[in-house]
Amino acid sequence: MLTYFDHLLSYHLSLVWAILLHRSREAGSGKMLKVMALGWALFLLTLVCSMVSATEDLNSAGYRVIEINELADGSGIAAHLKLISGCATYGPDLEDLRLIARYEEGGRVHVHITDAFRPRWEIPDSLIPRDRVQHVSVGQSTASIQVSESSFTLAHESYAISSHPLKIIWTKDPFSFAIIRRSNGEILFNTLPEAEGSPHAFNSMVFKDQYLEISTRLPQNSYLYGLGESTSPDGMRLSQGRTYTLWATDIGSWNVDMPLYSMYPFVLDMRKGGTAHGVLLLNSNGMDVEYKKGDSLTFRVIGGVFDFYFFAGPSPMAVVDQYTRLVGRPAPMPYWSLGFHQSRYGYKDIGELETVMAKYEAINFPVESIWSDIDHMDGYRDFTLHPDHYPEERVRSFVKGLHERDQKFVMIIDPGIKIDENYATFTRGRELGVYLKNGTGDGYYIAQVWPGFTHIPDFLHPNALDWWTKELEEFQKTVPYDGLWLDMNEPANFCGGSNCWYDPAVKCTIIDVCCMTCDNHPDVLTRWDNPPYAINGYANKLPIYKNTVAMTAEHYDGSRIYDTHNIYGMTEALATYNALKKISKKRPFVLSRSCFVGSGSHSAHWTGDNGATWTDMKYSIANLLNSGLFGVPMVGADICGFYFETNEELCQRWSQVGAFYPFARSHSDIHTGPQEIYLWKSVTETASNVFNWRYRLLPFFYTLLYEAHQSGAPVARPLFFEYPEDAETWTIDTQFLLGSSILVSPVLERGETSVHAYFPKGIWYNLFDTSKMIRAVDHGVWEHLPAPMDTINVHIRQGSIIPMQDFAMTTTAARKTPFSLLVVFAPASDFAEFCAAPYSIVCQGSDREYATGHIFLDDDIQPTMDITERRASHIKLEASRTDGHYVLRSIVTQPDYAIDQGLVIKTVSVLGVQSQPFSVRVNGRLAAAHVKVTASASLMEISELNLPLGEEFELIWNTMPNGSSSHSS
């Protein structure tokens, strides 16, 4: 990993050696031997210098603890660390560090290390609200701290600490720390290097101004996930022997093994037995994270501080709960965002939008919203309409028609604001001073993007939110859009570096090629654009300023883009979310390309500019599963692909899996042909079928969004989230679960008409043909399933109650239709967690079987998804079966909203039942005469019930007069 200066030194030393050797030959053999000896010394020096850089062997002895104090609240310790010895590689080491290590609520431990005397860059509280260590009171007494020559810890732990699931252990000289699980003593994070000479040794902690390094030892049985965003051909699990670079870049996601649009320095570690814990390095600076084979994980960061949070788990779901409790729970999404969205870069005028919608209407396909890319803009200026292609009156009329049909309109925004004195958005921003400053001189920083030469908003500026709200509000008056799509917000820049200038008279002939003059010779670059350590951006150690704002650009308070680059997209999305909430008084919908940890608390995400290839479709599953892991559960990939020409078979298969993405949008590039669903008969028929089911499952999807908002639980989940004890699930990322109940197993290869799918222990029913089931009685099984071109395999897990409604052409119409419940029973052994408080189920006897589910409803307006009076209702559903006796009951919290909406349960379907009931009772009385009961080989259905959803009910039926068993499962 050589820097430019390493190569320069190596080159000059080699050159000197060659010159000396040449001259020595002319001077005679004696001098020649001496000079050759000198030459060999220079060669060895060159080799050593190269090896030092290549291996990052910094020869640092690390730090020792010279002072320890207990925190005033007894939650941990504060310590002063002193440098033992350092080296000049990547700059001088900081002499003094301050450590705060403390136990926090919610199964969390916090370890924070920074400069002892000078403040360093940290992520602002405005982005991730949290309890900062700068505000922690430090006590004077060390009486409760047990200190030896080698280690120290709290001698007398408070009850709150002793009951914490994690424990912190420190060593004194050299300083290191470990995080241990109390229940079994397992070491989760261990920074102590092994003895010198060990093949598994790593560097002691290094802390320089622009280079931080720390490593943790890993056991052989670790399975790691996280460290995104990238498209990895290896799948969701991190691969040993790889280095993962975290840096937000403007690059198509069809590129593999490169850092993409978002940055998530978060790792989930699965261990033997199915326990999990999480590690978050809350640092926004660029970093490489090296995963050595069977050995260790090393973080190499180019700035900021060590701000580690450790999450105890012990289940993967618990880790995400603890993590999102810190960084922010996923934001509520409006109900309409779950519909199908149509988009394309290249709808040249409003007439084309009208034609597309008319063609969809002709095939009776449910398009919830149509999106407008940069085509609608006048000269690619934000908040404008092209006067010829998208005239205001015609656009307003078009949007009015959409709204009359309960459809939506979403528009794009890029962060670059064109420098134009006749552009009101630009001049208003300048008056408020909300643009990034040029860090190498006076004035505002100038970039080049689609509009040409632009200023870049500083969304950390105190005036930025007011300015942004004003611009969004004024544009809302022009076009009553329903949601906003934030693109290019890494932020992208067609030029790069801190020494670029432009001639205002220059007209760019190719708008996405740099028209500025840039001098990026290493001699003139600052240490911010050319830091001592080069992270592996773009997989080739290209400069970090490539295709983005110069690292020297500054915010209003002097902080540099060098530190804030990776949170820029988050700052724009948060400002947009807050502005829309203020303008519309409704729940906002914001889709952002660039994200950071915590972005899910205000925005959805799509996986960016993917390719129309089979591998891209396959990779999309791991990408959306990772996004859920990072706390951004409302996520999807462009259906049928964005770049390159798609084809009928690919689009048919992609529409099948895309129908089950949390966020389902078709989007394509201007340089490729169109790919709307109606273009191929086979795609139309297949997509109509699967999206019919998606719209029927809307209450199920929406309830999953409620779960995400309450606990961080991903909507789309890897199988190991629900079956962590089944190690077979740990590497599966070509299937996914929706919640805990629906398993999706798509075909992901050209020409295949079957799929090899894994089914964890239990009974799984085919959603589309419930007469078909998979039995995995004692353990999980792999199955080869038929998958004709028009078919995707989707299965329902036993123990589930799936809420559904009728299909309709819009989500607004669908959510007014009657409910149906699909009930699938499971043995009592699968319900141990439900057999005690706070659940009402009482498990009695091994012969009983159970199923559970719930429904969340709200007005789709309030900014949170809470169960509030007259604005939301929550219905918990429980079913039990003992022989031929069945009970289904509901427990309703805040019933008024459901009652006011007039919603009813019309049908209850039970899988695995062969005969009709002899009697059906509703709330203790025989069911009315109009109630219908039917039964087939595997399905019993009670219809025409019309049970008010907002009223608690108990439905009881018996399939045999003597109560004996009559079911097949």
- By annotation, the residues acting in catalysis are 487, 490, 609
Q: Is residue 949 within 8 Å of 905, Cβ to Cβ?
A: yes
Q: What separation in angstroms does the CA of 52 have from each of 14, 55, 542, 937?
A: 17, 6, 20, 71
| Strand bridging mode 590-592 / 604-606 | parallel
Give one word for 334, left, alpha or beta, with left for phi > 0 and alpha for psi -120 to 50: beta
Strand stretches in 19-173, DSSP E? 62-70, 76-85, 96-104, 108-115, 145-147, 151-154, 166-172
**H or E, element range at 52:** helix 29-55
| Strand bridging mode 417-418 / 742-745 | unpaired
Question: Strand, coil or helix: what is 915?
Answer: coil
How far apart, in whole angstroms, are the C-alpha atoms of residue 298 and residue 58?
Answer: 13
Q: How far apart are the first and last CA of the chain?
A: 59
On the question of a cis peptide bond just before residue 838, with omega within 30 degrees of 0, the verdict is yes
Q: Is residue 552 within 8 Å of 543, Cβ to Cβ?
A: no
Name which of 483, 485, 423, 491 is nearest 457 in CA terms.
491
Q: Please give the angle made by the CA atoms of 803, 640 and 735, to the nearest 5 degrees.
A: 50
The contacts of residue 821 (CB under 8 Å, 6+ apart) are 801, 802, 803, 804, 853, 877, 888, 905, 907, 908, 909
How far apart, in whole angstroms, are the C-alpha atoms of residue 494 and residue 554?
Answer: 19
| Strand bridging mode 819-823 / 904-911 | parallel
The contacts of residue 151 (CB under 8 Å, 6+ apart) are 169, 170, 171, 172
Bridge partner residues of 955 (DSSP): 888, 922
**Other Cβ atoms within 10 Å of 573 Cβ, number:** 29
Name which of 200, 229, 163, 112 is nearest 607 in CA terms.
229
Q: How is 750-791 classified by DSSP, letter by letter?
A: TT--EEEEEE-SEEEEESS-TT-EEEE-SS-EEEEEE--TT-
**Other Cβ atoms within 10 Å of 264 Cβ, number:** 25
Residues in the chain: 969
Calculated CA dihedral for residues 694, 698, 702, 704, nearest 10 degrees: -50
How far apart, in whole angstroms, are the C-alpha atoms of residue 416 and residue 419?
Answer: 9
How far apart, in whole angstroms, are the C-alpha atoms of residue 363 and residue 684?
Answer: 8
How far apart, in whole angstroms, are the C-alpha atoms of residue 445 and residue 549?
Answer: 8
Tokens 């329903």, located at residue: 482
How far apart, in whole angstroms, are the C-alpha atoms of residue 435 and residue 88?
Answer: 37
Q: Please give the angle made by the CA atoms of 259, 210 and 249, to the nearest 5 degrees.
A: 20
Structure tokens that stand for 909 in this block: 């379907």
Question: Strand, coil or helix: what is 659?
Answer: coil
How far apart, in whole angstroms, are the C-alpha atoms of residue 867 and residue 895?
Answer: 10
Q: Is residue 896 within 8 Å of 869, Cβ to Cβ?
A: yes
Tokens 């990238």, located at residue: 230
